[in-house]
Amino acid sequence: MSTSLRNNGAAFLSLLAAALLVAGFTLAFFWAPEAEGDPAFRIFYLHVPVALTAYAAFGWGGWKALRLLWTRDERYDLESYVAIHMGVIFGLLALVTGSVWARYTWGVWWTWDERQLVLFLVLFLFYSAYFMLRFSTPAGPRRARTSAVYALFGVALIPVSFLAIRLAERYIHPVVLTRDPKIESEMLVSFFVCLAGMLVLAGALYLAELAGKRADARLRELRELLA
Amino acid sequence: MTAYLSDVVALTRKDLLVELRSRDTVPAMLLFVVGGLVVFHFALVEDVSRLASAGMLWIALLFTALLALVRSFVAEREEAVIDGLLLAPCDRSAIWLAKTLSVVAFLALAELVALPAFALFYEPVTWELVAGVALANIGIAAVGTLLGAMAAAARARELLLPLLFMPLAIPLIVGGVGATLAEDPARYLGFLALYDLIFAILSWASFEYVVTE
């Protein structure tokens, strides 16, 4: 019964996410003014919400990891893993959209000048190693705790890496020119609608995958009982 | 507190004695780091700049540290030493601290050869470089020991450890190269100290969770 309730939650959130994203992109494309006459800037409404959602997913995964170490309750292991899985998917999307943005703004597919993009590359490497760790350790409470500790390291690594990337710019490129476009209130409203849509979408995907993985685990338990 | 310290001293002494008798790790590190510096000479063009050689030294040090870290839990796993250590009536974090101290000692030994070799082959060694190396050693050993204990439970452990460690080592490389090259090395040394503090506390607090079954 609890499973069907969760699936309803995922279905409701999917509909909400679809509505919010359609509304957000409609606002972003037809209502918000163009920034500095640059149509490519509109990818901002996709790239930044995706990136922030990835951070939220990593943070959520870290929080669940902390809960696991705290309470030793095994269910947090799956929740932390699924959240980080979502984070990696959104992180990869942020890398791709960032790369496209760089292509249309600076004419190159990759630039080391864009801090957020470099940070996502580092995080992508880090969390790919998280999956390697998980898949090469036998399942059990020790794997759950080891993964949780690594997930917590990830949460600490995000600000430390951000600082490191800023510091690295000072000796790699001594002069950094940042050009912040003027943000108008219409743009801000459109942005927040897009962000809310993306967060709800991630929540829906999280609940759906969690329900699937739980059903999987339940099925495996039943099979073992029958065997 | 004194009991904790005497546990740490005894455990560190154990690791250093094992290395002294088997001589498995440190000679390999020495050869590797000098070999690395020689290989880099052929990988770079003539009149290699000061900037390039400093970056190269840091890569050589990082990879040499990986050798020590991959070896650090071999006896614990193969000879089942870890079971004995976990049964011993001492705080589990003392095991981490002792292992970290012995890895720092091995790294310092390797660098006692690597830095003079670097000075001989490439550029003079500055005080900022030495300070950066000393601070980076702490971070490498603290994080690497914890990751080594994590990887010890996995299947392809020698393969896994570098993958786990590399993303976490990027800030150390930034701090180290910055301390060596930048005009304001103090900022980078401070960053390295901050990294050491954050990750040493995290590793110290979480070691127990990754070694117990």
- The model's pLDDT over A144-172, given as tens digits with 9 standing for 90+, comes to 999 999 999 999 999 999 999 888 876 66
pTM: 0.88
Residue among B154, B175, B187 minimizing CB distance to A136: B154
Q: Which of B207, A220, A122, B195 is nearest to A130 (CA)?
A: A122
pLDDT at A29: 81
Write out the two tokens for B71. Answer: 């070896």
**CB atoms inside a 10 Å sphere around CB B114:** 24
**At A123, is the pLDDT very low, low, confident or very high (cuts 50, 70, 90)?**
very high
End-to-end CA separation in angstroms for chain B: 26
Q: CB distance from B206 to chain A under 8 Å? A: yes
**Sequence-distant (≥ 6) Cβ neighbours of residue A79 within 8 angstroms:** A64, A210
Residue of A nearest to B194 (CA): A160
Q: List CB contacts of A218: < 8 A, sequence separation 6 or more.
A: none
For residue A176, the model assigns a pLDDT of 41
Res A1: pLDDT: 41
**Among A74, A72, A91, which residue's Cα sits nearest to residue A154?**
A91
DSSP-derived secondary structure for B21-48:
HH--SHHHHHHHHHHHHHHHHHHS-SS-
d(CA B192, CA B202): 15
Nearest one of A161, A123, A150 to B175, comparing CA atoms = A161
Q: Judge contact between B66 and B163, C-beta under 8 A.
A: no
Q: pLDDT band for A27, please (50, 70, 90 cuts).
A: confident
Instruction: Note the Cα A20 to chain centre separation in Å.
Output: 18
Interface residue A164 vs chain B (CB under 8 A): yes
Sort out which chain A residues have CB atoms less than 8 A from B206's CB and list them: 69, 149, 152
Q: Which amino acid is at B103?
A: V
Q: Which burial class, exposed, middle or buried, applies to A181 when counting CB atoms under 10 A from its CB (0-12, 13-18, 19+)? A: exposed
**Maximal CA-CA distance, chain B:** 58
The pLDDT value given to residue A175: 44
pLDDT at residue B129, rounded to an integer: 93
Any CB–CB contact under 8 A between A139 and chain B? no
Residues B178-207 pLDDT 10s = 999 888 889 999 999 999 999 999 999 999
Q: Note whether B146 and B140 are within 8 A (CB).
A: no
**Alpha carbon separation from A1 to A6, A10, A35, A197, A206 (Å, rounded):** 9, 15, 50, 28, 19
**Does A167 lie at the interface with B, CB-CB under 8 angstroms?**
yes
Instruction: Give the single-character DSSP code of B53.
Output: H
**How do the domains of chain A map onto residue ranges?**
2-226
Within 8 A of B154 by CB-CB distance, chain A residues are: 133, 136-137
Alpha carbon of B21: minimum distance to chain A alpha carbons (Å): 32
For residue B49, the distance in angstroms to the closest alpha carbon of chain A comes to: 14
Can you say whether the dihedral through the CA atoms of A125, A127, A131, A134 is positive or negative?
positive
**Does A75 lie at the interface with B, CB-CB under 8 angstroms?**
no
Q: Which residue of B has its CA nearest to A69?
A: B209
pLDDT digits 0-9 by tens, B22-58: 888 899 999 999 999 999 888 887 676 777 888 899 9
Q: CB count, 10 Å around CB of B138?
A: 22
Interchain proximity A69–B153, CB inside 8 Å: no
- Could you tell me which residues come within 8 angstroms of residue B205 by beta carbon, excluding any fewer than 6 positions away? B93
B89 part of contact set with chain A, CB < 8 Å? no
Give the integer Cα–Cα distance in Å for A18 and A13: 8
Q: What is the CA radius of gyration of chain A?
A: 20
* Separation between Cα atoms, residue A217 and residue A151, nearest integer Å: 22
Mean pLDDT of the residues in chain A: 86
CATH architecture of A2-226: Up-down Bundle (1.20)
- Suggest the residue from B129, B150, B160 to mutate for an interface test with chain A (most A CBs closer than 10 A): B150
ipTM of the complex: 0.90
Q: Does B150 touch chain A (CB under 8 A)?
A: yes
Res A177: pLDDT: 44
Q: Tell me how far apart the alpha carbons of residues A64 and A85 are, in angstroms, rounded to a whole number.
A: 13
Give percent above pLDDT 90 in chain A: 47
Q: Rounded to an integer, what distance in angstroms lies between the CA atom of residue B94 and that of residue B10?
A: 10
Q: A176 or B60, which is more confident?
A: B60
Give the closest residue to B94 by CA, choosing from B15, B187, B183, B199: B15
Chain A interface includes B109 (CB < 8 A): no
Instruction: Check pLDDT > 80 for residue A181.
Output: no
